[in-house]
Amino acid sequence: MSFKKIENLISLTKGKKPLNIVQNSNGIYLPYVDIKVFETGIVDNYTDGEKCVSCNDGDLLIVCDGSRSGLVGKAVTGYVGSTLARIDVSDEIDINYLYYFIQGKYQVLNTNVKGTGTPHLKQDLLKSFDIYLPSLDEQQRIVTKIEELFSKLDKGVEELNKIKEQLKIYRQAVLKEAFEGIKSYKKISDLFDVTGGLTKNSKRNELSLRWKYLRVANVFFNYIDTTEIKSIGVKPEEIEKTLLKRNDLLFVEGNGSKDQIGRVAIWNNEIENCLHQNHIIKARPMEQVLSKFALYYLMSTCGRKQITQIASSTSGLYTLSTNKIKNLSVPICDIKQQEKVICDIEERLSVCDKIEQTVNESLQKAESLRQSILKQAFEGKLV
């Protein structure tokens, strides 16, 4: 078997930031191929190309800077973005053959980057790989086989993702039906004690008393992620107000995304003695309401609509505040009925969860199979 170093087969030309960027081609300018174009094909910016690096349809590009470093893709005719590089290819290697080879090395390239802030692609690492290099005809046969197998995989993945979308619709139908018969509503301020949290600033680094605290990055829809819990300097008098207690309802205060604003979850004492920052709004339930009852309503279509409406701003961003949270309305009924609603919801959603777990496992297997196909291809075992 014949192998060759990648460095003997390619050269990289880094993209540059253009001097002139416009939002419309006007029939004159060409696409500025940034990361969005690279990943989705959607062009937002165009340029005249002055002092830029050009690319043509089908050219190989690779992400050199940022969290997607090492990701390879195909260009459209235009100019290469400053975080990307054009890969020029030797006549010895089929461009699609190389494309699939680098695609199979993404995990290695993406997890072995350089830089302490923004990650950067290690070009030397990319060039250090050995690649199985049969004749061009054989390379093209391998590419054809890869694409045939990937096409079958893609159809399966598409069906699995359709199931996930159908599960989302079903979950919303379950939540909608659960609250349809309840006619009485109250403001959250009548049912919960709503308070803000700790404001993060540099002065807190000087405080000797340090406590763990919850951030926006820890709060998702009906889920608290405690993978990374940071600590913060606090004053003794701040602790009582910002200490989390079991059944506290937590809202994410701000997020530019309409879909993510007002993410809501319940604190279940995942960590003892934990506070929360000001971008997490805490709602502590009173006797006449169960947190989980309110949570499920706020995750329903009606609840989400109310949150996004109250959170919208003239700037186009979405943000909440303690006063906005207090003015949200939720359905209310006696505790026994609330318990029944919760039980009915969870019984039906648990079926969804099991199906989704199976789907996710199948998607992971599909990705593993994809990597296995690439591995066999470049060991000369696929055709």
Q: 3: alpha, beta or left, given left = phi > 0 and alpha = psi -120 to 50?
A: beta
The pLDDT of residue 256: 66
What is the number of alpha carbons within 13 Å of residue 57 lying toward its C-beta? 0
Q: Compute the distance between CA of residue 172 and CA of residue 299 in angstroms, rounded to an integer.
A: 8
The mean pLDDT value of the chain amounts to 94
Q: Compute the distance between CA of residue 94 and CA of residue 135 in angstroms, rounded to an integer.
A: 9
The answer to whether the CB of 153 falls within 8 A of the CB of 101 is no
The pLDDT of residue 287: 86
Q: Say if residue 313's pLDDT is above 80.
A: no
Indicate the domain borders of the chain.
3-133, 135-182+333-383, 186-331
CATH hierarchy code of domain 3-133: 3.90.220.20
Q: Who's near 232: CB < 8 A, 6+ residues apart?
A: 198, 200, 204, 210, 211, 213, 275, 277
For 61-77, b/e burial (b = at least 16 CB within 10 A) is bbbbbeebbbbbbebbe
Beta strand 10-14 pairing with 84-89: antiparallel
What is the number of alpha carbons within 13 Å of residue 323 lying toward its C-beta? 0
The pLDDT of residue 14: 96
Q: Say if residue 39's pLDDT is above 90.
A: no
pLDDT tens-digit series, residues 316-367:
778 899 999 999 999 999 999 999 999 999 999 999 999 999 999 999 999 9
Amino acid at 200: K
What residue has token string 């009485």? 184
pLDDT tens-digit series, residues 246-281:
999 999 987 667 888 899 999 999 999 999 999 999
Q: 70: alpha, beta or left, given left = phi > 0 and alpha = psi -120 to 50?
A: left
The pLDDT of residue 2: 86
| 115-119, 129-133, 244-248: least confident range | 115-119
Which is nearest to 271 in space by CA: 245, 242, 233, 251? 245
Assess whether the region 3-133 and the region 186-331 belong to the same CATH fold: yes
Q: Who's near 70: CB < 8 A, 6+ residues apart?
A: 62, 63, 105, 106, 108, 109, 110, 113, 121, 126
Structure tokens at 53: 């690096």
**Band (378; pLDDT cuts 50, 70, 90):** very high
Concatenating the DSSP letter of every residue in 256-279 gives: S-TTTTT-EEE---SSSSEEEBTT
Q: Compute the distance between CA of residue 86 and CA of residue 61 in angstroms, rounded to an integer.
A: 5
**Band (314; pLDDT cuts 50, 70, 90):** low
What is the arrangement of strands in the sheet containing 230-233, beginning at the earlier edge strand?
230-233, 210-214, 274-276
The pLDDT of residue 1: 65
| 29-43, 89-103, 210-224, 267-281: least confident range | 29-43
Concatenating the DSSP letter of every residue in 183-247 gives: --EEEHHHHEEEE--BPP-GGGGG-S-EEEEE-GGGEETTEE--SS-EEEE--HHHHHHHB--TT
Amino acid at 27: G
DSSP designation for 10: E
CA dihedral 165, 168, 170, 173 (to 10 degrees): -130
Fold category of 186-331 in CATH? Adenine-n6-DNA-methyltransferase TaqI; Chain A, domain 2 (3.90.220)
Q: Say if residue 81's pLDDT is above 90.
A: yes
Higher-scoring residue by pLDDT: 185, 115: 185
pLDDT tens-digit series, residues 180-208:
989 999 999 999 999 999 999 999 999 99
The answer to whether the CB of 194 falls within 8 A of the CB of 257 is no
The answer to whether the CB of 281 falls within 8 A of the CB of 325 is yes
> How far is residue 313 CA from its own chain's centroid?
24
The pLDDT of residue 255: 67
What's the CA angle centered on 221, arms 217 and 226, to 5 degrees?
40
